[in-house]
Structure formats: structure tokens, C-alpha cells
Structure 1
């Protein structure tokens, strides 16, 4: 051991560098060994480690280290995602600080600028992974925009196009007007906001009648193509087929019937604007209306509306009233409402709560926009596909056949719900950073899809070509990583890595990307390799703060795992919390939340304590309310292991430990700890096999702290001091053997401290056959070595010790006072008396036929044995002490009573806080009863 005191910062960097330099992270590629592989969900290159990463990386590294110790050919494959939108935003903001934009540079120079940024700042998260102890094979590290991945992306795109599964069309998509690109549903956050419902009068043509249409977006009426009612709404059946005069325009639109309309909501009339609303798009498609686009790509009103059919063909264009042209959509809304009011067409305006879709990167309100995009078909069967199945059906079948298993199993329902209602995938983005779509156009607009420009030119002949400016959705390239990272180049590729590591053993990820990433990996892998990408999908919960709130900057509750590892003072913590806020006015709230959670800053807990905390939370599928104080408890656990190792080292170094002596005696204490070790090995092994990290952590903690440190180490002191050298030698051997096994059991979760301590313990235990604990063999359980009699004896002995300790407490005997104990007919415990004297702090322990007569000494019963402690007690002093303790307790109880009785507290306070207060009050009431009972005894 390098120090008498546990200091995680002294050991963590040292050992990680040692592991990496010695190549311990690399797979053996032993064909005779079973394979275990795991793909790291590639974090964004712009990212930094957050608590979700700390959680799933603890699980992934724990599994990787476990299977490596079991002798598997093990590969954990790391990489990072180019994160098209996020990365482009970061670099554009840097340019803005220099009063430049990407258009000033041009596309090629701007992309060069991003690559330069990536080289300097883009690898932050990989360094943080090293801090977490992640034993990934860095020689296999990839970046989704590197050359090998770029070739695979082009190959896959071209093959899908050749198979008729990729096409270009004009469809409605989520559009971010600030970014100027289509975005996926995942990049849209719907927030409940205060809005309005405008009730507008639409006159019926050739009639004095009018209909009242309610809308939250009056500016879109410029693109209305119809007004719909429910076909069974008898109130308006007579109007179906009639024409309406669209307010503020010179257009007539029909009244149609469609079941989409909820007759109970609003006025029963719904305006249909298929070019600017997803639901309206489906209604328009059913009725084959036109699509009228009234916005440009910055969400400003066009001078001329564009009219299309559902095949994307231009039908016509017409002028929009000049006063609205060029206005931003919200400025246009204001003017349109004023004009409706002036023309007495605005009936009323009501406050209305609505879900507003906003881009997660910009905060801009997302606009459904009719644009030309590339799509991937989910339901068509590829040309000459021998399976006769669509790409989506293959993925559905892979899960239905249990080739891919979800853990917990209930996530299968979520997967199937999405897959059975799947829509074609919009795979194009209007960005400059990303995989540029391998398609070129000639002057006539004809498209040529090819792997390279040279290949496209061969198709086009002498025609001049221009490359498509769009890039692919980031999820397209990340869907290919199960095979693009293993040497796959085309459908005939064969590599040792593909053979060994596809499918991988397990994917560890969050539920929120089951469709956006998990399903797409299954689709792409089954389609291109004929194999599933992974066998198991372990879905973990979300990491929330200690009150159960989602971690976000706006809440001020974000925790950086590195801060927990290294510690950070409060001023710096506050600065980190408020830097880069989208809403700076929230800074005071953030400061208040931070000070409440971390009043003195964050102490340095070290990586092992953080990882053990994460493992202890990892029950199947449950979201985590992370309380940083749990790290404090596991930092203490690290200290406990450190000090236990120092004790063992001091007592065995230079001593005979009987490593090769088969004839050493064994006490019931030794037999008990060896038996408990076998049971613990079984429990921990089964927990790792079934992804129950919480059970593994619990078993390791209870065995190491409660049984080895608190019981066996203390009992070993008796055996070491017994004067019997053979028993002392056996004890030293047991101390070493059990501790060395504990370190190997704990290593997958706590890699650094276990390596540091194992380097000391293993040579003493005669087990240092390898250079590192991470390649030492996993502790194998031997159920036939479990001694049930020793387990029963120890259970009875522990009950006896706890009974005596409780008796001391009831009698108010301080820890420094040693008292004699009498056991009536306690012959069954005769062999335990030396141990009992030490653990129960007794001056003596005597077995008698009958307890002595002593009115002041209470009697306890344990395993049919009556016990009595005899000690002189100063009744007056003890009464005063207990009375003072009771007075203090009553004040605490009254305070909690008042809090719980406060009107509205039980209804408004978070449930976990109410429960905590109630449990604390119950504990105080129980303690109060015990003190009163002791006071009554002192009166006798």
C-alpha cells in the first residue's frame, strides 16, 4: 500500500495509466474462449460527462471487467458521435464571437473549422471516461465522421437506394427556423405554455350563416384548405359540402367531414392546414386536398403561397396580401388578429394551455414545414431481398423470436408499439456538418446516387453535376456502429472482429432512445449482416436529483460526476451552474438550489465511491433519485477496506500464514466466514449474470463491511492472541484469503482501490500469478464448502452478542465500562466466551446453573439462555442523564409534530420528504418509550 491513508487521487490516475499501457483493455482474440462484447452508446463529441453517463458507464465497465476476469475474449468498443446539430451550433457560436458566420467562410472552410475544433476540444468526454475507470479498448476507438465510418455510410446509403428503400420527396417535417433544418422528434421538446384560443368567424358562401373556428395559430389560416366537422355531428351535418369564405383572403374552402374532429372540443369546427400541421396533413391526405405553404424556411410569410399536391408536384401559386408578406409568423399573428377584429370576424379570445414544440438546441418554436427531404422506407420490401420482409419487419421479428431480449422485459411493449406504427424515416438534414448525402444532380434535376463523385459522373456521362447539399441525420450513421466498428465494408465483409463480436452481448442504454437508436440498429444490422446487433438490451432508468426532479440547468440541480470525484468549492460550483444558461434570469434560483444541496461545496469522494453509489442504485428499470450523500457512505466503505487491509498487512507480513499447510485447525469462526464467502460469491455472480448491480453491490457491501470487517476481523484478534500458534496461523491465512476474494468480487464496481489493495494482499496470499487484479480469475463459488453447522453457530453467537449489547444499552453502561456477564445454562456457548468477552466488552463471562440474585440487574433471554450483567450504577447520575436525553428528544418530537400538523404540508410536500419525516417521528417515539422504561427501572 502506497499510503497509510486512503486518498483516491493518488491511486486512480496511476492505475489507469498502468492498465492502458499494458494493454489489459484489449480483447485476447482467443478463438477457444467465449466472447463478450459491448458497444458504448457513442456520446456527442460536444458533450461532457453527466450523471447518466456515470450511471451507464459504471454498468458497462462492471460487466466488461466481470467477463474479462471470467476469461472471456472481451471487447468494450468506444467511440463518439459527430452530433451534427450540436457541433455545428458550438462552432457557429464561436464564429459569432468573432463577428463571423459559416456563410462568410463557405462550406469547405467551415467544415475544416469544425475538424480543428474537434481536435482541440472535442475529446473531453473520452478523458472523463478514463477518470471513471472505463476499461474500453482505445485501439478500437472510432468517430462517426472518420474515414472508415464515412465509407460505410456511403455504401449503406447507395445499397438502400439501389434496393428502392431510399427516396426523395416533399413531406411535412419538424422544422427549426433558427437552425434552418429538419429535426427529429427526439430533438423536439414539447413544453406546456400559456397561450390563447382565438374564435374566428368563417362566413358560409351564399348564405347569412357563419361557422366559428377555434385555433391557437391564427396566422396559419392563410394556408387553410378546408374546415372539418365530425361526420356524426348532427349539429353541422347540413353544412357538409358547403363552401366557406376564408377570412382576410379571397379564397373559398369546403366544409368536409372527418373522424379526426372531436365534436366535444372547442366549437366542433377544425380548420385544416395540411402544409403546417401534422394532423391536418393526414386529414388532407385522406381527402386529397391541396397543400398550401405560406412560410419560408425562416418562418416568415411568403409573398406568394405555394400550392402542391400530395405527390409534391407544384399546382399553382397565388399572392398573399402584401401587408403580411415578409413578416415573422408571430408578427403576422398579431396583425392578422387585429384585422380579424377590425372586420368583426374575431368572436373572442380565451386563455389556453397548450403544448408548444421547441427545438432542444435553440428553444425556437418548431414549425411543421413542407420541404424536399430524403426518406428511408420502413414498410417496403427491398428489391431482390431473399427474406421477403421489410426492414422494419425484420427488426420486429428479431425481438419476437427472442434473438434480442429486453431487460426489463416490459420495454418490449414500447418497442413493438413504435415499430408497429412506424413511419418512413426522414434521414436528411439541412446542415453543413455531417455525412453529406452521396447524391448528385445534373442541370435537369435528375439525381445520381453513387459511392463517389467519380462513380456518379460515370452514370451522368458529360452532364455537369452538383452534389446534394444536405447531410444525413446523425442517427443514420450511429445506427451502423454495431458492424461499422468491426471492419464491415460491404455485404460480403468478413473479419475476425465481426465473427467474434457481432452480435455484441448487451447494449446498455436509456429508454428514451429505444426507437431512435436501438430499433434502428436492429433494422440496419439484420438487413445488412443477417445478424442482430446485440443479444440483450439492458434499459436503465433516468438519473434524477435527490427530490426526484429531472436534472437540468434551469432547475439548478445538475451534478457533474467529476465534481463528485474531485470535489469542488461552492463559488466555483455556482459559476459552473450558471454558465451558459439559456435563461439568465433563473440564476438566483439556481444559486439557491445549489446552496441548499451543497452548502459547503462538494467533497472529493473519488471514482470508486461514485461507481459503487451508481451500482447500488441499478435495479432493473427504476429511475434514480440520486442523493450525493450516498457517495459519502461508500467513501467510508473505501476507508473501511483500506483500514482492514492495513490491519491484515500488519498482522501477517513476515508471519507464517500456512499457505501450503493442509493440516491447520479451523474454528467455527473460520468455517463461518469461509461459508459466507461461498454464498456471497454465488450471490454476486448471479447478480452480474442477471444485470442486478444493486444486488451485487449490496452483497459485497454487507459481506465486506458487516461480516468480514465488523465480525471476523474482531474475532480474528481473539484467535491471533490465543497463544495457539496453529490457530493463529490459520487465522492469518483466512484473513488473507477472504480479503483477497473480496477485492476480486468488488473489482468490477470499484476498480482503483481494489487494484491498489490487491497489489499488497495478493503476494501475501500467494495468489499473485498475474500482474493486475483486472486479469486475475473471477472468484469461483464452491457450494459444497458451505458449512451449515458453522453458519448456525455463528447466527446464535451474533444473537447472543447483540442481546448483551442491548442489555448494556438498557442499563446505560458506557463503552469504557467492562461488566461481568452470567449465562444461565449457557453450555452451548462455552466455546464462544473468549470471543464474547471482546465483542461485548465484558470483564468476564461465566456459565452458571442459576443467575445470582440482584434486583438492580435486568435479565435478558437469548436462545433459551437467561443473561445477567452485574454492574454498580449511580442511579441519581443515570436518572439525570436519561432525563436530559428525554428532554432533548421531546423537543425534536414536538418540532416534527408541528411540521406534520401544519395545514397543507401532507398534501403539498414531496411524498418522499413526508415519508422521511414520519419515519423519523416514529423512531423518536420508539426511543422515547425505551428511555421511559429505563427511568422506571431506576425508580425501583
Structure 2
């Protein structure tokens, strides 16, 4: 037990306690026989640094992990980082560029070695920052999506999916980033509003009988147009369907097709179709019978114009950047007399979030996963309740996306990442061997010769297995080798040369395996010393098949026949905490892969939290300059305050508005608890020696025990329902109001020298027990201050992080004591408010009269008055005298005068005291009167209240006028409207409160 410093300094305790926890293995699950509890963190990018979204996500995870640990479970929080293919390669290439160097100066292997060097030196920044937040992760077994064991799992999944026909190579449109020279996911596309143009021009009909008008925001793409679409119900164009138009500039003849994509209400109702450069047009083209292999591609990997397959693009346009080509095409259309008009328009334009360049829909060969097949078991799992999505409102969005899911592009044109385990060999025909080669142009000006889809593909875990497969395929005539220096497969008279695919896998593909590939699946380096569990040995996994279906025969939980806990009971994970923005990029894909390979859900509950927004409700972004650095907040207010803010503001289904003042308020909350602990130390209150509530005789002690139990119950229920705000607010109200503001004040007289020793001892024991319960239930939210206070209050056998969660035993609740102390608090609170409203000087002790409900109505019958009220006042006379500043109470309907100082009672029945001027208030069913004659200038007070009421009502009415103005509500920013509503409510309440105070004065 150490004496606490007078001032609470978060920085002085945080680093010390975190280092202690980690060094002593407190985050390591080590409870043989205990129920396993598992959560995995969404692996942050290895290049990343802690942002406010990370702070929210990881705070919620840590609350659940620490709570599970305190509940006696063998809690494991799996931690790791994602290799972040694009981001990491960009970081390393930038460093090389600063040294006048570049990636293409090196072999692929040498460049990858440089990335590993960077990772070892600089790739741990975010993990250090997670420690500052207080995350109790199992750092002894930190994972990385490129570590050896995890990579084995990734390769196995790829090969198995390919062999099952669920992963294939295809030519489709992708989001192409010309700046990075790779396909990117939708999550890496940032949509911006750009001021652009809408060009209208006409395509002449082939027979010269007229023309058809079309419009576009990208006129340069007409160089690769392959059709014009009109709505089949549009009577204007019925006769034109099937005819052809001749494109200006290229002279290409293209058909007019019928397709519902064309909206008769938009523009001319006719739409140009460029299937190789627009996602909607791609689908229209396929419906029109155009195969992907036949779709025209007019741009290279850098976004420059290249020749199409029909060779019709004029030579003077070749090599132009797409935006320079736009100017040239518009000029050409104007020169040909087919440009009709140009409109200014705001255009939603896709940009690469890392490169900052406009994204191009680009037709290219990529690897795809049959997501539609894998999605079916995941849909069924959510519908059956095997996976509970919280909040439930996200289910509709989940089903809508999953039921309309598109093939998942999993290849990226990078060097850093899991290289695709596919080797290409030359195609084989009846005569012999032949090669079919495509040219792929890269952003740096280089190009790669690679096999087209017609070539033979060998997918295997290793190069040796690929060679063996190829040898069986080509026969004994040929010796099969792998060429590590050339970029295309070939054959000689007696040798066949394979080349491995240059691409790497999308990082979402590897992270989709996170819930099981981090736990020892297929020998992927388990973080635990796994042994046989429920008859299943380490690394064993159910057989895989081409499809996964959920049993409905009633066997096992939720219809899953294979419900035996896997991977030492760590799979399925108990819960996943995730931002809703990666529901489809990560969460849904984990469901697909987990169900397919483990035959069970990856997690039982999926909790989706909102975004942390700026104080005005806007989305945070660096370009807006409204981001918040969580580390700066930790430096200023401490990690505990930031964590508590995150929890208290996390309300299911809502985003969080960043409010630094509230973070400061929770630092003040920590300070209040600190001072309460110092008060306890100063008065001989120490830690409790029992988990059960101590015996109590005083009503105030029985009351605080009951309040403690009810708070534990509230926190348990809130956390079970993932109501982080409910749990945090229950603790806050109990600690601040019930324990600090009331209980400690109410028991202060028990520490006076003239109080009986046994009462003093009882209050000390109860106060110590309550303080211990506070520290335990608050620990998941504020781990640092609670651990510090835990050890300061007593000599402990163990750290708080591994203490035992309180017992919410309702048998220890005394309703009568609750009612009595509840009345006392209500009486003191109301009296304080009334005194403040009418400006009674703090030191004044005006006479107090109990009128009684019936007395006010005109009856003086003592039988109508509660007979035990004076006894309640007597039991709490010292407290009421001290805290209520009341010396004497007179009960008018019984004539009893009660002296709170001496405890003497004097009957004055029959006397009719002149009450004079004063103020009334009601507590329960009793009416009280404070005599203010000579204490307060009542006329001046009435004038003050009247003036204040008028000012509040004026502001209230002004705000009501604004809110009733449709123009303001429709045009003002949403945050401005919300502020006006809040201000109106505040002023309305103020006016009501002041009016009530004036009425009390009579």
C-alpha cells in the first residue's frame, strides 16, 4: 500500500503498468481448464500509424478482452499486422526515389528483400502505439500476414479453391490505378466531386438517313465504343434497333442495341457503350453478346491511348495521355460538325486513395474467386443465427450485397505480397506446342510478355509440385524447367519452360483467413501450444469440398453438424469487432473462407461500430484538415480518458462526433476517482478481503452495497448486448454521483471521533469493498488508473488485470435501506436546488417547516402525516444538519419542533407560527417551506427571475422560428440544424425551470 500523490498524472503510470503487464505475461492466456475466449484484431497495415478509428476499434476489443479475463475465461486477443501490399511497396519506393534509386533497378527478389529490411526497421510503429492505448494483446505471438506459417495457409487456400473450381482466371473490368500500375479494390477508391463537362454529339447512321444523339463525360472513350444502347420501351428508337452507326474519327460501324440500362428520361435516351472502359457498359456489352476477349481496350496501363484490335484509332492520337486525348477527340468531333453542345456538370469521379490519380475501369486478365458460391453458406449462417450481427439493422445491407455479389478480383500487379502460386506453360494442341502471348504495359514504361488465357496453367503449393504437374501434362518427351529470367513460357524440341505469374494476391484474400490461419490451421504456427482437443489434433481440419452447405437436420448448434470446438477451442472466435466500412471487404470474406475451410462460422458475433467524425459531423480527412491524433489526446488527457470517451460515445448504429471537451471531462472523472481513493487512504479505508458484500447495519452502507450490485448487473447486461455506452454510463453515474458525491459525503460523520468505533469500522469495510468493486468493473474501460489504485489501496497477491469480476448477488439488496437513503438524497438534492435558484447565501441556515401534503390542502389531522418521517430525520440528522444546512425542523401538522444538532424534540401543538415569506418545495408526498424573511430580498429575487425568464423565452422563441422556417431546415448544414434543436431544448428547459422557481416564491 503506497501513498497516492496529490495530483493524478496519467503519463506517470501508463508506461510503467503496461511494461509490467507485458513483461509478466499478463496478456498471455494461461488458465488450464478455463473456458477459452478468443478475439482477433483487424490487422492494421504494417505501414500505418494509430488514427482515431483504430483507437475506437481497439478500445472496444480491449474492453471485451479484459472483461472476459476478469470473468475467469482463458482470454486470447490475437494481434498482428497486414503486409499491406500497395501501401508498403509505395513507402519503400518513395525511400528509394529519395536516394535517386528505383525498384526496376533490382530483381524482384532483391526488391522484396529491401521491403523485409524496411519491415524489420520501421514496420512496428503502430504496434507500439497500440500499447500506448492499453491494448492487452498477446504480443508474445504477434502475427504477420507474410510470416512463413501464415503464407503456407494462404497458398493452400488458393490451390484448394482453384482445384475446386472456385478460383479462376478471367478477363473483366477492374478498378485500375494508372499511377500505381495495379488493380485496386473498391475500398481503395475515393470518390470526389469534380467540376467537369457533359458533351453531346451525334453518331450518323450507316445508311445516311440521320443520326442518333449521345452524351458523355468522357468523350475520349468513344475511340473504343462498340454499341449505342436505347431502351426497348422507347418508341423514339424502336425502328433504329439493329441498325448501325458510324463512329466519327475512327469510322467504326457499331450496332444500336436494346437494353434497359438506357433511361429514356436522361438526355436523349441513347447511351454510347464502351464495354472495355465502363462497368455498366461491360454488362450491357455482355448482354448484347460481346465476349470479354473481343471488347476493345484503348488505353495502356499508364492511361495512354493505345491501338485497338481493329487498328482504327488515328496515329496522331496514339500515345496521348487520356486527358490530352479528351481534348483532341473533342476538337475532332467539333471539326467534323458532330459536337452538338457542352454542359457544365459536377461529376462524381473515382480517385486512387494512395496515388491520387483518376481510376480507370480497365479490361485485363486477373484472378477471380467465385464469391457467389462462397457467399451462400455465409448468408445462411446469418439467417440461422449462427452469426449474430450487431446492430441487427446491418443485416439488410449484408443480405443485399451478398445476394448480388460479383466475382472477387484477388490479383494485384505488385512485387510485395503473396506471389500467386500459378505457373504458365505453353499451350498444347494436336500438332505439338505453341505459345500464345499478350503484352502488358506497366506504369513505369516497361512491359511484360505473359501467357494469355489460352496458355496452360499449373497451380501448385510449390515450384516442385508445379514442375511435377507439368511433366505429367506434357509427357516424357519434354524436360520441364522453370525460367526465372524471362517473362513468357516457351518450348524447344525437348524442353518446356514454365514461368510463375508475376502478380501477388490482394491483401484482403490473405486477411480473410485471419480467424483460423493465426491459430495453427494446417500448421500455420499456432500462438498456443495446441494439443489434441475433442479428438482433433493440431492442424487437423475438416475435409474441404467444392461447396459448403449448412445442416438443417438438427445436429449441433444452429444446424452446424461440425460444432466440435476446433483449434484448441479457439475456433469459432467469440466475437469480431469491426468498422461497418469493411463489412464486405473483410468481415463477409472471413465468413466465406471460414465456412468453406473450417465448416463452421469464423465468429459467433459480428459487432459493427460507426465512424469517428469531426465535431461538426463531417467525415475526417487529411484534405479537410479535421483529423484528430489520438496520441496527442493521450499525451494531453491520458489513455484512460480517451478510452472511456470512445466507450461512452459508442452507441449502436451511430457515428461518434469527436469532442475533446468530453475527453477532458473523462480525465476529470479519473481525477475524481483518484481523489476518492486518496480520501479512502487518509481515513484508513483499504482494499477488501472478500468478494461477497460485507455485513452492514447502517442504511447508508446497505444502500451503497445495493447500488454497487445494481451497477454490476447493469454493466453485465450492457456488455452482453454490446451496449458499450450503456456500460460506461452506468459506471460513470455510479462512481461520480452515487459513490463520490453521495456515499463518501454521507459517511464522513462516521469518521468523527465521537462516533462509535463499530460504526466507523463498518463504514470503512463497506467503503473499501465498494471501491474494490469499482476498480474491477472500471478496469476494462480505464485499465491504468484502476491498476494503480488497486495496488495503492492494499497489498495484493495478484494484479487487478487478473482479478475476479464482482458477484451481482441480488440477495444482498435491502429495499428498505434503498428507499430511505433514496429519500435522503432526494431531499438534500431538491433543497440544494431550491436554495440555489433563489440565491440563498451558502452559509445561511433559514428555518425549515414541514407542511405536509394534507396541511397544504387545509387539514391539520396528524393521522394523515407519515408517523416515521421524524425518525428518518433523526437517523440522518447529522448529515442533514451538515449537508442541508438545516438546524431546526418544525412539523406544522403535529406541532413537533426537532433540533438537528442536539436531537431534542419539543412539542408545540396549538401554536401557529407566522411563516412569512419563503419558498416551497416537494419531496415525495411532503411539502416543505424555507423561511426567507431577512435572508433573501424576495422582491429583488422575483425581479431577477422575471428578467431571466423573459431572456430565456426570447431565445427559445427565436430558435423555434428558425426551426419552423423550411428554408433554414432544408438549406442549412445538418449539424447547424441539430445545434439549433439542442439550443432550443436547452432554452425551453431553462425557461421552465426559472418559471417554477418564480412560482415557488409566490
TM over 0.5, yes or no? yes
Match of 1:540 in 2: 609
After superposition, give the CA deviation of every residue in 1:465-524 in whole Å (9 maximum; x if it has no partner).
322110000101100111110111279973598122111000000111111111111111
Q: Does 1:712 align with 2:743?
A: yes
Deviates more, 1:726-735 or 1:97-106: 97-106
User: 2:254 aligns to what?
Assistant: 253
How far residue 268 of structure 1 moved from its aligned partner, in angstroms, is 1.4
Tell me the CA shift for residue 808 of structure 1: 2.2
**Corresponding position of 1:526:** 595
Cα separation, 2, equivalents of 1:475 and 1:863: 61
Deviates more, 1:5-14 or 1:845-854: 845-854
How far apart in 2 are the matches of 1:466 and 1:660? 67
C-alpha contact 2:193 2:349 (8 A) present in aligned 1: yes
In structure 2, C-alpha distance between the alignment counterparts of 1:218 and 1:212, rounded to whole Å? 13
Question: What does the per-residue CA deviation read over 1:691-729, in whole Å, with 9 as the maximum and x for residues that have no partner?
Answer: 111111111111111111111101101222252111111
SS for the counterpart of 2:265 is coil
Q: Comparing 666-675 with 441-450, which one deviates more in the overlay?
A: 441-450
Question: Take 2:141 and 2:942, find their aligned partners in 1: how far apart are those partners?
Answer: 66
Q: Secondary structure at the match of 2:569?
A: helix
Q: How far, CA to CA, are the matches of 2:12 and 2:204 in structure 1?
A: 80
Q: Does 1:447 align with 2:457?
A: yes
CA contact 2:414–2:503 (8 Å) conserved in 1: yes
Would the aligned equivalents of 2:10 and 2:785 in 1 still touch at CA under 8 Å? yes
- Name the residue aligned to 1:458: 468
Corresponding residue for residue 574 of structure 1: none
After the TM superposition, which of the residue ranges 816-825 and 668-677 deviates more from structure 2?
816-825
SS in 1 for 2:521: coil
Q: Establish whether residue 651 from structure 1 lines up as the match of residue 683 from structure 2.
A: yes
Match of 1:264 in 2: 265
Alpha carbons of structure 1 residues 501 and 664: separation in structure 2 relative to 1, 3 Å: closer
- 2:704 maps to which residue? 673
Aligned twin of 2:718:
687
SS in 2 for 1:173: strand
Q: 2: CA distance between counterparts of 1:259 and 1:653? A: 78
Structure 1 stretch displaced more, 657-666 or 521-530: 657-666
- More deviation, 14-23/404-413: 404-413
Alignment counterpart, residue 15 of structure 2, candidates 13, 25, 40: 13
Q: State the TM-score, normalizing by the size of structure 2.
A: 0.83
Shift of 1:108: 2.4
From 479, 485, 507, the equivalent of 2:512 is 479
> Where do 1:113-128 residues align within 5 Å?
113-128=114-129
How far 1:854 moved relative to its partner? 2.7
Which shows bigger deviation, 56-65 or 181-190?
181-190
Aligned residues: 870
1:821 aligns with 2:848: yes
Aligned residue for 2:432?
Answer: none
Check conservation: 2:948, 2:994, Cα contact below 8 A: no
**Aligned pairs (5 A) from 1:148-167:** 148-167=149-168
Matched position secondary structure for 2:827 = helix
Structure 2 residue matching 1:318: 3-state secondary structure: coil
Structure 1 counterpart SS, 2:37: strand
Name the structure 1 match of 2:174.
173
Alignment of 1:659-808 (within 5 A): 666-721=697-752, 723-763=755-795, 768=796, 770-808=797-835
Task: State the distance in 2 between where 1:166 and 1:345 align.
Answer: 46
Q: 1:551 aligns with which of 607, 613, 620?
A: 620
Q: 1:234 to 1:832 in 2, by over 3 A?
A: same
Q: Which moved more, 1:3-12 or 1:918-927?
A: 918-927
2:679 aligned with 1:610: no
Q: Is contact 2:945-2:994 (8 Å) kept?
A: no
Q: CA deviation at 1:402?
A: 1.6
CA distance in structure 1 between the aligned counterparts of 2:778 and 2:686, rounded to whole angstroms: 27
Task: Tell me how far 1:550 sits from its aligned partner.
Answer: 0.6
Report the CA distance shift for 1:885/1:114 in structure 2 as closer, same or farther (over 3 A).
Answer: farther
Q: Cα offset for 1:735?
A: 0.9
Stretches of structure 2 that go unaligned for 5 or more consecutive residues are: 427-434, 436-454, 472-478, 480-495, 525-535, 540-564, 852-864, 896-911
Q: Within 1, Cα distance between the matches of 2:580 and 2:104?
A: 38
Give the conservation status (yes or no) of the 8 Å contact 1:688–1:696: yes
Give the 3 Å change call, closer, same or farther, for CA 875–78 of structure 1 in structure 2. closer
CA contact (8 A) 1:508 1:539 kept: yes
SS class of match (1:93): helix
**Equivalent residue number for residue 236 of structure 2:** 235
Q: Deviation of residue 149 (structure 1)?
A: 1.2
CA drift at 1:424: 1.5
Distance 1:458 1:711, change over 3 A: same
Q: Does the 8 Å CA contact 1:664/1:726 hold for their aligned counterparts? A: no
Secondary structure in 2 aligned to 1:253? Answer: strand
Q: CA deviation at 1:396?
A: 2.1
The C-alpha deviation readout for 1:513-542, integer Å capped at 9, x for no partner, is 111111111111111121211110011111
Are the structure 2 counterparts of residues 126 and 690 from structure 1 closer, same or farther at C-alpha, using a change threshold of 3 Å? Answer: same
Counterpart position of 1:863 = 924
| Residue 665 of structure 2 corresponds to residue 633 of structure 1 | yes
Correspondent of 2:303 among 299, 305, 308: 299
Report matched runs for 1:39-50 at 5 Å. Answer: 39-50=40-51
**Cα distance, 1:815 vs. partner?**
1.8
Corresponding residue for residue 985 of structure 2:
919
Q: What is the deviation of 1:104?
A: 2.3
Deviation at 1:887, TM superposition (A): 6.6
- Report what 2:521 is aligned to: 488
CA distance in 1, matches of 2:761, 2:662: 38
Do the aligned partners of residues 361 and 129 (structure 1) sit closer, same or farther apart at CA in structure 2, a change above 3 Å counting? same
2:359 is equivalent to residue 370 of structure 1: no
Per the TM alignment, residue 847 of structure 1 is displaced from its structure 2 partner at its CA by 5.1
Paired residue for 1:398?
Answer: 381
Counterpart selection for 1:25 from 24, 27, 44: 27
Residue number in structure 2 paired with 1:382: none
Q: 1:660 to 1:127 in 2, by over 3 A?
A: closer
Identify if the C-alpha distance between structure 1 residues 843 and 920 changes in structure 2 by more than 3 Å, giving closer, same or farther. same
Note if 1:276 corresponds to 2:320.
Answer: no
Write out per-residue CA displacement over residues 407-426 of structure 1, whole angstroms, 9 at most, x where no aligned residue: 11222222211111112211
Aligned to 2:134: 133
2:918 aligned counterpart, secondary structure: coil
Determine the C-alpha separation between the residues in 1 that align with 2:722 and 2:60.
Answer: 8
Aligned with 1:841: secondary structure? coil
TM-score normalised to structure 1 length = 0.88
Whether the aligned pair in 2 keeps the contact of 1:230 and 1:259 (CA below 8 Å) is yes
Secondary structure in 1 matching 2:104: helix
Residue 340 (structure 1) shift: 0.8
Q: CA deviation at 1:897?
A: 6.9
Match of 2:972 among 891, 904, 908: 908
Are the equivalent residues in 1 in contact too, given 2:198–2:216 (CA < 8 A)?
yes
Contact 1:441–1:467 at 8 Å: present in 2 too? yes
Bigger mean CA offset, 688-697 vs 882-891? 882-891
Distance 1:162 1:29, change over 3 A: farther
Q: Return the offset for 1:324.
A: 0.6
Q: Point out where structure 1 has 5 or more consecutive residues left out of the alignment.
A: 307-316, 380-389, 567-603
Please give the secondary structure, in 2, of the residue aligned with 1:780.
coil
Structure 2 residue corresponding to 1:812, chosen from 818, 836, 839: 839
Shift of 1:890: 6.8
| CA-CA distance at 1:95 after TM superposition | 2.1
Provide the residue aligned with 1:410 in structure 2: 393
Conservation of the 8 A alpha-carbon contact between 1:664 and 1:727 = no
Find the aligned partners of 1:543 and 1:332 in 2 and give their Cα distance. Answer: 41
Shift, 1:893, TM fit? 7.5
Aligned-pair CA distance for 1:121: 2.0
The answer as to whether partners of 1:897 and 1:921 remain within 8 angstroms in 2 is no
1:99 to 1:689, Cα distance in 2 relative to 1, 3 A = same
DSSP 3-state at the match of 1:501? coil
**Residue 630 (structure 2) pairs with residue 561 (structure 1):** yes
The separation in 2 between residues aligned to 1:481 and 1:662, in whole angstroms, is 43
